């Protein structure tokens, strides 16, 4: 497979899900279904850890949720508290040892951790801890957090008190679930860069990266976890600890553009409506005479519908996505490399032939995918191809939990819009502006991180290269 094609999108981050079960629900199965609903956030590995009367048992493996778990495995995961994780590696190698949840034993007992995000000072902390005798089994940021927690827990009355201390030491983006023999603890970084919400089903409390997972298991959405907040659930009650927060929150705006499911609500804003609004704004700012509006599946479809509604140009299906491509598949021969895009997408020739097409996509990263899709549309007989992107040009890498190429591989970092248009072969090309993008999550109760577009990182980061996550 042409790896450049499959790397020509921002890769999903991770998804976390946890439940403190005070009812007679099947804890492991609820977590399984919750993770299934979050599968889009990571297809590399999946895991579930369950607290069985103080003993934490777990299962995790490389693969998707349905590949990792079956009825037999789930039947052995008995307990009242559970956390689950789906992963795409943004820091740490793609190894089974790095799959989560991470389960550790330490002086005060045992705990399990599931984490979404990246710490920009993880290497610095890891080096310091190793010099003091700590031994690490994985290469993940999550184990760095666990090591800090185990060290601080010795000095404090409770794990949540230790977490308050740890949150003052770590810098970056994180949504975190920590399970102990008697508690389920959730935390969100002070800038609220990664999403995390609280729900309830009966008397049971649930944490999830997205509201769509709550809907899947029939849970009621309560609220988003606040930036810098720690929420502790035990058998008796639920309580909140608000740590120090400085400045406006900085939710990753790519959640609305690409990562989150369109049926999720994040910080009070509908992802579906945000994408619809992006398409409408593209139509107002960059109109063009055409016969048909199409979207690149899947995240470009809603924006394409918005463009159609605003412009009055009919919306239709132009591209068909193969939904059954997994992480591994037979490598095509060298002569097939140029046609590898067709393994994932194909055209509806009868819809395209002889027409002026407006094609909407969520972003352009390397440009290889866009070029090949434009070529496919030409081969299908498109008369004109006008490409509209529902985000600004991506010119900087992300250090906070999204796997982006190094800057030199981002086509917009060294090419103008007109140069990109010529490279991909479109008749016209336009991107949504940053100002317009910020207005698309209508009703959002947060600020946004737009660093991948403007280089305005909300947390200080190091230089690109081997030590890009070191301060």
Distance CA 138, CA 267 (A): 33
Confidence of residue 107 (pLDDT cuts 50, 70, 90): confident
Non-local (6+) Cβ contacts of 82 within 8 A are: 18, 19, 21, 27, 28, 30, 31, 48, 49, 50, 51, 179
Residues belonging to the active site: 14
Domain boundaries, given as residue ranges, for the chain: 3-247, 265-454
DSSP state of 94: S
Distance CA 47, CA 63 (A): 10
- Which of the two residues, 81 and 461, has the higher pLDDT score? 81
CB-count exposure of residue 155 (10 Å: 0-12, 13-18, 19+): exposed
pLDDT per residue as tens digits for the range 135-187 = 888 888 889 999 999 999 999 989 999 999 999 999 999 999 999 999 999 99
DSSP character string of 151-165? HHHTTSSSHHHHHHH
Return the minimum-mean-pLDDT range out of 10-19, 232-241, 256-265.
10-19
Q: What is the CA radius of gyration of the chain?
A: 23
Report pLDDT for 4.
44
Mean pLDDT value across residues 423-431: 98
Report pLDDT for 466.
33
> Which superfamily, per CATH, for 3-247?
Aminohydrolase, N-terminal nucleophile (Ntn) domain (3.60.20.10)
DSSP state of 255: I
Kindly report the backbone phi and psi dihedral angles of residue 74, in degrees, each rounded to the nearest multiple of 5, phi listed first. -65, -35
Mean pLDDT value across residues 222-249: 95
Q: Which CATH class is domain 265-454?
A: alpha beta
Confidence of residue 325 (pLDDT cuts 50, 70, 90): low
End-to-end Cα separation, the chain, in angstroms: 36
Structure tokens at 9: 């999108």
DSSP state of 54: T
pLDDT per residue as tens digits for the range 2-33 = 444 445 555 556 999 999 999 999 999 999 99
- Which of the two residues, 92 and 154, has the higher pLDDT score? 154
């Amino acid at each position: 497979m042409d790896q450049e094609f499959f790397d020509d999108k921002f890769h999903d981050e991770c998804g976390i899900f946890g439940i403190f079960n005070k009812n007679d629900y099947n804890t492991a199965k609820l977590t399984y279904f919750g993770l299934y609903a979050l599968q889009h956030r990571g297809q590399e590995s999946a895991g579930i850890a369950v607290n069985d009367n103080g003993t934490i048992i777990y299962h995790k493996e490389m693969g998707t949720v349905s590949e990792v778990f079956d009825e037999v495995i789930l039947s052995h995961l008995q307990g009242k508290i559970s956390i689950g994780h789906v992963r795409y590696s943004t820091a740490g190698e793609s190894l089974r040892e790095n799959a989560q949840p991470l389960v550790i034993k330490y002086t005060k007992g045992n705990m399990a951790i599931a984490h979404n995000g990246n710490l920009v000072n993880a290497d610095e902390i890891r080096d310091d801890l190793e010099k003091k005798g700590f031994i690490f089994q994985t290469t993940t940021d999550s184990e760095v957090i666990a090591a800090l927690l185990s060290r601080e827990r010795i000095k404090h009355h409770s794990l949540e008190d230790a977490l308050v201390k740890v949150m003052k030491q770590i810098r970056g983006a994180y949504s975190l679930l920590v399970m102990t023999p008697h508690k389920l603890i959730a935390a969100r970084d002070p800038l609220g860069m990664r999403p995390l919400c609280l729900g309830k089903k009966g008397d049971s409390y649930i944490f999830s990266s997205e509201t769509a997972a709550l809907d899947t298991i029939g849970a009621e959405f309560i609220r988003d976890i606040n930036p810098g907040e720690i929420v502790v659930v035990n058998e008796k009650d639920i309580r909140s600890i608000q740590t120090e927060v400085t400045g406006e929150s900085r939710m990753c705006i790519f959640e609305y553009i690409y990562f989150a499911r369109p049926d999720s609500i994040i910080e009070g804003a509908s992802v579906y409506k945000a994408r619809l609004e992006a398409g409408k704004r593209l139509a107002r700012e960059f109109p063009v005479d055409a016969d048909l509006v199409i979207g690149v599946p899947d995240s470009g479809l809603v924006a394409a519908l918005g463009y159609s509604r605003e412009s009055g140009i009919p919306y239709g299906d132009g591209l068909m996505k193969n939904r059954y491509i997994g992480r591994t598949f037979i490598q095509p021969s060298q002569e097939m490399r140029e046609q590898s895009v067709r393994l994932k997408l194909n055209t509806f020739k009868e819809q395209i032939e002889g027409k002026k097409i407006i094609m909407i996509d969520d972003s352009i990263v390397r440009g290889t995918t866009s070029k090949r899709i434009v070529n496919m549309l030409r081969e299908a007989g498109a008369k004109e191809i006008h490409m509209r992107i529902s985000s600004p040009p991506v010119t900087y890498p992300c250090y906070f939990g999204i796997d982006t190429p190094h800057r030199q591989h981002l086509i917009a970092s060294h090419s103008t819009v007109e140069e990109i248009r010529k490279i991909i072969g479109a008749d016209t090309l336009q991107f949504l502006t940053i100002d317009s993008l910020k207005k698309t999550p209508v009703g959002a109760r947060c600020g946004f991180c737009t660093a991948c577009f403007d280089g305005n990182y909300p947390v200080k980061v190091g230089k690109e290269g081997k030590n890009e996550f070191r301060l």
